[in-house]
Amino acid sequence: MIRTVSLALACCVAACAPAVKHDPRLSSAPLAERLAAADANTGAAIFSRCAACHTVTQGAGDRGGPALYGVVGRPIGRGSDRFNYTAALEAVGGVWTFERLDAWLTDPRHFAPGTNMMFAGLPDGMDRADVIRFLNENGSNLPLPTPSPNSRPAR
């Protein structure tokens, strides 16, 4: 335990990644539940891990990855006009729903085998929910799914 804590501290100092403590029961809750509990400001901090490759503000351009302003609800692998998407991502079809973003951010290479998004994924379900809420608040503003009253984690 002590070793885990000091390891986490060392990683934090090294990578300067935000260390957010989430309730582990919430981290594995259904997506609607997680999104309802998510916080866009925490998502903004988590987005610092994406910002080397992505912009998210209106009018900002592509980097190593496509511009993400308004990405929720946008066609998958086609939304940023000038970006050269892989055939793998283009072939997925449909639009970025909350669910599909959650799956993509869990494991990009599993979601679209052959993608060149060199990012391992966010294993914590609340990290994903926070960052998806942040993305939604930057140009999409789609209504969040309603959590089912039966799916609440036991308290």
Cα–chain-centroid distance for residue 86?
Answer: 19
Name which of 132, 147, 154 is nearest 30 in CA terms.
147
Near ligand HEC in 10-49, by CB under 6 A: 49
- Residues 105 and 115: their CA atoms lie apart, in Å, by 12
| CA-wise closest residue to 69 among 126, 61, 114 | 61
Of the chain, the end-to-end C-alpha distance in Å amounts to 24
In the complex, minimum distance from the CB of residue 91 to ligand HEC, in angstroms, rounded to a whole number: 10
Site for ligand HEC in 105-144 (CB under 6 A): 105, 112, 115-119, 122, 131
Q: Using the rule CB under 6 A, give the single segment among 10-18, 32-40, 73-81, 144-152 that binds ligand HEC.
A: 73-81
Choice between 123 and 148, CB closer to ligand HEC: 123
| Residues contributing to the site for ligand HEC (CB under 6 A) | 49-50, 52-54, 64-66, 68, 71, 76-77, 79-80, 85-86, 88-89, 101, 105, 112, 115-119, 122, 131
